[in-house]
Structure formats: structure tokens, C-alpha cells
Amino acid sequence: MKRLLEFFLTAIIFSIILVSGLNFEVAQASTEVVGIINADTTWTKENSPYTLTGPIFVNNDITLTIEPGVVVNLNGYLLQVNGTLVARGSSIDSIQLNEGRITFLYSTAWNEQDNSGTIIENTILNSVHMDIRSSSIKINNNMINGGFIQSHIEGSDTDLYLAHETLTAIISNNHIIGGSHSSVIEALNTDVIFNNTIICTQNQRRGINAQYYSSVISNTITGLRGYGIIGGKNVSGNVVSGFEVGIEAGYAMVANNLVFNNTYGIEIGGLGSIVQNNTISNNTIGVYSAQGYFNYNNFENNSKYNIYASSSKSDVNATYNWWGTTDTVLIDQKIYDNNDDFRLGKVDYMPFLTAVNTQAAPDSNPLTPTLGASPSPTSPSPSTSPSQCPITTPQASSTQTGVLFGLDWMKTAIIILSLMVILLVVVTMFLRKRKAK
């Protein structure tokens, strides 16, 4: 019994030493970095985490590479990239960037053909301000939590800011949870915002604010107030819910969106806007519009009006839509136009569809958009109905690299074996004591 007790105590001490040693290794000292990077540099997982003690500047024609699994604590400082930043985590080993600001100014453009240039991919960004200026970079498949961007030139207040002079930035496949300021993404040029999941908090007044020639395609955006999407030349294939205004557009193509549970589903101000093949449901007012073309859409269960004509300047072309009924009396009741106020234009809704347009839904398998391309009007053809379209949520991978508390397989196996030895000793002692009785 005495020997058994000694073995038991030895096993416990051995296990404690092992676990303590592992914890010391996990909590290794950080690598402090500051200043100008004038030569190609790699931040390795072995020397992670990296902690900024001041601003970092990546010079022209210089590449900073961040390996998978690296943690970078920006520590409130600026990382300015005038050269190239390659931050590419993997599906099992994300990069993590924490609490600071990253500015891309004339950064090396991303080239999809040769897989080179500036990119942030498979990265978790916590409270990171991203300001992209005069740079065609790629931000893909990341988890973005909070953050804030302020452009001192534009005076904007957003989580992700794409400036006027930005070339064509691609923001795709990210999961973004809004921070404490007014917009989540603001794009002011020919940017492509594609297949992101955006969750706006109470603080956000805008999910995506896209102006000029930006394309907003196949995003899922939920909110509590304000606007889901503002502007953009091509707004298509999005799922938008929970806002005061789901989609607001001027001169734009608005197609194949699912817009529901908003106060105003779609608000249109541009004369030449084309709104087609959308499903607009369960809003207070489906469409609030001064003018435009509204064809081949599904209007369903909007509580007050399907269309509210907001201007006297012109009539509204709303032919070939499904109104949830074929009863013209019921259709008229859900349209507010010059029949209700002589100062307004007329909504022309005849002829209308006699059944649901199954093409009026986001594509469940969207293709990556071609830059500069925009859709052209089409009539409906058989396709997938909105209820059959799965809403997918892109996931950023975890920063843990193993299976137990971030430890690798070998360390995990040692801990498990030690615990098994302890358990075996305890059981043996119990059985011998019981036999002795």
C-alpha cells in the first residue's frame, strides 16, 4: 500500500510539472515590433505573439508576411502598408489581429491570376480599423469583430472604409459583426462587396454604404435600425432584414434580393433604376419610390402597402409583378398613388403575374462577380424559390491549433495519459482496500 501511495503521489507531481510546463510554453513572451520595415520580413508562429510598441510602416516594394497561427497585438497603434501585406491564415490555423488600425496606401494590388499582392485571408480581426486608399487589395474569408474607421479626409465613421481614390478592392466571404460606429462597410468607387455576412448592432445606422460604381452582391445583412444597403450600381442577390430601410438606391440595378422584416423594404429615388426579380415580404411598406421600373417581383405580406408612390413627377411602371393575389381590389388596397392623393403619380400594375415568380430570389450558389459587369433586365424563367435558398454563413476558423486548450496533439496525448495513470492508481487502491476488508 505504501508503494502504491508513493507511485500515486509521483504520478500527480509528474502531471502537475507537465501541465505547468505546457502552460509556460503557451504563455511565452511576445516579440515587440516598431518602426519602418525596409526589407522583406516574415512574422513567424514560432515568435508569436507580436506586439506593436509604436507604429509600423511597410515601405514601398517591401513585403510583410504573417504566417498562419500568428497573433498580432496592434496595441492601439497604426500598421501602414505602402508595400505588400500577405496575411493568409489557413482553415485550421487563423491569424489574429487585435485592436489597432491598418491603413493601405498605394499597397501592391492583389493579382488573382498569379496569386500575389496584398491580401488578408482566414484572419480574425478584433476591433481593427481598416482604411483602404488607392489600393486594389483582397479581404476574404475573415471574421471581423467590431472595429472603427475614421477617414480624416472624408469625415466618415465606419468599420471598414474604402476611400474615393481606392481602385477595385474585393471584400468577400467575411463574417462581420458591427462595432460601435455608424457604418460597417463604406465603399466609394468600383469596389466589389460579395458574399459577406454582416450583423449590425444597435449602433450601426448603415450596413453597407456603397456609392458610385460599387457592386453589392450576395451578402446577408441583418440589423436593428437605419439602412441595410445604401447605393451601389449593382445590388443583387442579397438577403436584407431588420432595418428601417432595407435597400436604398438611386440609379441602380436592384435584382434577385430577398428583402423582409423592414419598415421600408426598398426605397428608390433614381429615374432609371430597375428593380426586378426581388422578393419583398413582411415589411411595413414594400417599396417607397418616386420613380423607376418595378417588374417581375414578388410582393407578399407587406402590412401596409406594397408600393407607395412618393412623387408627382412621374408614374411608376410596376407591371408583371406577383402581388400575393389576383384580386384587383386587394391589389389596389396595397398601392398608394394618385388614387389616394391626386398630387402623386400613378402606379401602373397591369398586366400582373398570376403566380409567384420563382426566379425572384437570391442565387443559392452565387458566382464570384466579374469586375465591371452588371446584370441586364430579364424576364422570369423557372428557378429556385426563395424558401429553397439556403442562407450560408461564412465562418472564420478558430485561432486554436490543437484539440485541448489550443495545445497540439502530442501535448494533449501526454496530459490524457497522465490523467489515465492517476485514475488507474486510484481505482487500484480502492479495489485493494475493498479486498482487504
The pLDDT > 90 percentage for the chain reads 44
Q: What is the pLDDT of residues 8-22, one digit of tens each?
A: 556 555 555 555 554
Domain ranges of the chain: 179-401
Gyration radius of the chain's alpha carbons: 28
Highest mean pLDDT among 28-32, 148-152, 283-287, 422-426: 283-287
Residues 280 and 261: beta-carbon distance below 8 Å? no
Q: How far apart are CA 281 and CA 264, in angstroms?
A: 10
**Residue 422: other Cβ atoms inside 10 A:** 15
pLDDT at residue 69 tops 80: yes
pLDDT at 37: 96
Residue 96: phi and psi, rounded to 5, are -130, 125
pLDDT at 4: 53
pLDDT at residue 122 tops 60: yes
pLDDT at residue 42 tops 80: yes
pLDDT at residue 180 tops 70: no
Of 154, 153, 123, nearest to 138 by C-alpha is 123
pLDDT at 398: 34
Burial (CB count <10 Å: 0-12, 13-18, 19+), residue 126: middle
pLDDT at 381: 37
pLDDT at residue 290 tops 90: no
Is the model more confident about 351 or about 144? 351
Residues 189 and 161: beta-carbon distance below 8 Å? no
Q: What is the pLDDT of residues 298-328, one digit of tens each?
A: 999 999 999 999 877 678 999 999 999 999 9
Is the model more confident about 104 or about 200? 104
